[in-house]
Structure 1
């Protein structure tokens, strides 16, 4: 892909980027937008007042410096002019005219100045600047959320969470070795960018366009067939900046990402699993393809160092969410980094695990909710979360038949076993069912709303999350 096409794609992203927000859409009346500037916490009014005070103080200082002579004559001239005007027009006529003209000048000046600022900050968006500022303020005051996982599950969660907080940190596994990510890992030696790519796209302002761009797979070209544009983009950025962490940070700035995405570790991690039939399988993609029941899982190296920024995000977190995602190949690999598991265990904040809706062939056949919990506890050697979110609605018969053909079934909630494990159950309808394809996924908006509502109740605070 030529540089011209690449630059055009980035230009389009930046021009079409906007902050979606349901609190205040485009306001039909200009008066309403002016009242919004009076909202507390925008850090605008105080600086305008300080500026006005500076003008008055400067004028006073100038008057003192020149011993008031020019100002005295100026005031005298204005007084004589006003006296002459009042002799021609009565004060009950000239006064309102002067007030109306002054208000008009103030309105004209403020409107033009704000229009000039808006045209620079938001040249191609229909949304008003004040709406953007209000949304920005509300998002920045949101809780510090750490979401841990990988695959499509984590990116789905992030799509919903970004509407409630801008203080999101996604900690993503780097154990993927299949598909385009696996090829880049073997041929170039970079950490697999696939899951990170999905999370960056999910947190971007212009999510739909960016997702289509990052998910685009080349269908022709020597060595390009099968590669996604997003993987190549992150690989190139890694080479330019020196490592994947800097590449993600630079990409996030260019693509207007809300929140941040961090790899769990910068080590070249390779998963291994021991199956009940005695086989030992190495490689994330090979584990799923082996088709056996997983008895134990680990990684090489056995104690990879955690990314320092990931640990800092966990230490500062108000809320930690684990999952959803493939249990053994997306969620647990992050927790196999000992420092990450230890940091989570030390936190005294709400921590919840989002259980999958359906079992996954090759990983969690016939698993119940308690089986998922035991697998995480066994991999970490300790309990990390105090609640589990479980979907309560059964998919349609059409969907159940389609999944049954792949030996996949809804994850059964065994309440007593979960209670014995010391976990609180959060039951909610968070499923999005595609009637045409028969696939089920977590609904981003429902999932985020339920998770924020539970956090609000757990903290005893009101976050303004709707029902």
Structure 2
């Protein structure tokens, strides 16, 4: 008897929910649009109210200033007009009629105002209100600092920008290969490649500009191999009086990026590494090519000063993410800046390291998760993060075969060693595997979703 009664209640609730869904689907688009404009957080209603109050105060001020004479005359005129209307038209008709006419004029006026505003933008009214709602949501997101370089950091940023506009990417400037290396040697500019990748990753859906910044010249004396973005940043650096920070800020405005991209230092940093066979290798691009086991890493100059804006971003952050990226050539170079190390140690906020999915020849061959952590600890002297994010499910057999040809293998999670070092382990499926090329990388959206979920729990 009780079960049948419960079933009846549940059935009625389902019918009610279905009716509500049908009603919402039948609601005209204009009504839905207006409801969106009334959503909290858009700062529309309060400014309309303040504007109306301002108009009333202006009228009141003028009336008081003129000793109320115009007001008295206006009130007399309105009184006579109302008396004339009510004697000819009954109050139960003239009252509601005037009220409805006022509502119509108010809504019509506001509608035309919004239409006039939206005509200045591409897209319709719905696109604008959605854009405003999204803008408010992103601006209320946590202040995130992401530290790294290479494709790993840009992949992370591509996912994070869907959750917050308060992102600061702190990027290594130790690259000396490819287009960046050539510009560094020939013009003396700091390597722009990783900076460019991060800016385009944070671009606010400006597809054409992003493609332009990533475009790489295929021909031309001196141009071949260079990307337009690298050349643009180099030119902007010269225009701003060799101020690389200003050049990045100006370029960021062109791309309309969400957040900020900052170099870890403005010093001309060059990496060096000692290998287990006693070789001493200089230059980021040469370290990986050397093919040995790295036992120590450093840079020239040995103590480069940090960019003040980067230190301020760490100080104000709500959440710090380190990696993913090549351990010795993308992640650790940022930590070779003493002030950044110290700022990370002092931070009393959630801090997490995103471990690579695969080992990398010449850098982390045969490395486990704890080996990655030990390498960072060796540079920093103590813990700078609280947890490590590790891929849960291994790649497919075709992908493993593909990477085995390059002497790359999944990074093994040695749980006991990681826990013994005092770190929490976050296991999640954040891998993106291309079924055609069998290439593996972190999936931007999955990675960001897992990281934000972990942040919400801490």
TM-score (norm 1): 0.89
Q: Distance in 1 between matches of 2:217 and 2:123?
A: 30
With over 3 angstroms needed to count, the CA separation of the structure-2 counterparts of 1:213 and 1:125, relative to structure 1, is farther
Residue 341 of structure 1 deviates from its aligned partner by 0.6
What does residue range 191-206 of structure 1 map to in structure 2 within 5 Å?
A: 191-206=190-205
Q: Distance in 2 between matches of 1:174 and 1:66?
A: 68
Residue 124 of structure 1 deviates from its aligned partner by 4.5
Which residue matches 2:143? 144
Instruction: Tell whether the 8 Å contact from 1:324 to 1:354 is kept in structure 2 after alignment.
Output: yes
1:290 and 2:290 aligned: yes
1:269-293 deviation per Cα after TM superposition (whole angstroms, max 9, x unaligned): 0001111111111110111111111
Which residue matches 1:176? 175
Residue 139 of structure 1 deviates from its aligned partner by 1.2
1:132 and 2:141 aligned: no
Q: Distance in 1 between matches of 2:380 and 2:169?
A: 19
Which residue matches 1:190? 189
Q: Secondary structure at the match of 1:266?
A: coil
Residue 34 of structure 1 deviates from its aligned partner by 2.6
Q: Distance in 1 between matches of 2:192 and 2:198?
A: 10
Residue 29 of structure 1 deviates from its aligned partner by 2.2
Instruction: Tell whether the 8 Å contact from 1:198 to 1:211 is kept in structure 2 after alignment.
Output: no
Q: Distance in 1 between matches of 2:358 and 2:208?
A: 29
Which residue matches 2:16? none
Instruction: Tell whether the 8 Å contact from 1:168 to 1:259 is kept in structure 2 after alignment.
Output: yes
Which residue matches 1:319? 319
Which residue matches 2:116? 116
What does residue range 418-457 of structure 1 map to in structure 2 within 5 Å?
A: 418-457=418-457
Which residue matches 1:156? 155
Residue 369 of structure 1 deviates from its aligned partner by 0.4
**Which is higher, the Rg of structure 1 or of structure 2?**
2
Q: Distance in 2 between matches of 1:442 and 1:139?
A: 23
Residue 357 of structure 1 deviates from its aligned partner by 0.5
Which residue matches 1:19? none
Q: Secondary structure at the match of 1:76?
A: helix
Q: Distance in 2 between matches of 1:57 and 1:316?
A: 41
Instruction: Tell whether the 8 Å contact from 2:138 to 2:163 is kept in structure 1 after alignment.
Output: yes
1:237 and 2:236 aligned: yes
Q: Distance in 1 between matches of 2:161 and 2:167?
A: 7
Structure 2 residues without counterparts, runs of 5 or longer = 1-26
What does residue range 381-420 of structure 1 map to in structure 2 within 5 Å?
A: 381-420=381-420
Instruction: Tell whether the 8 Å contact from 2:41 to 2:133 is kept in structure 1 after alignment.
Output: no
Residue 337 of structure 1 deviates from its aligned partner by 0.6
With over 3 angstroms needed to count, the CA separation of the structure-2 counterparts of 1:432 and 1:210, relative to structure 1, is farther
Q: Distance in 2 between matches of 1:159 and 1:396?
A: 25
With over 3 angstroms needed to count, the CA separation of the structure-2 counterparts of 1:228 and 1:161, relative to structure 1, is same
TM-score (norm 2): 0.91
Q: Distance in 1 between matches of 2:206 and 2:370?
A: 35
Instruction: Tell whether the 8 Å contact from 2:141 to 2:165 is kept in structure 1 after alignment.
Output: yes
Residue 106 of structure 1 deviates from its aligned partner by 0.9
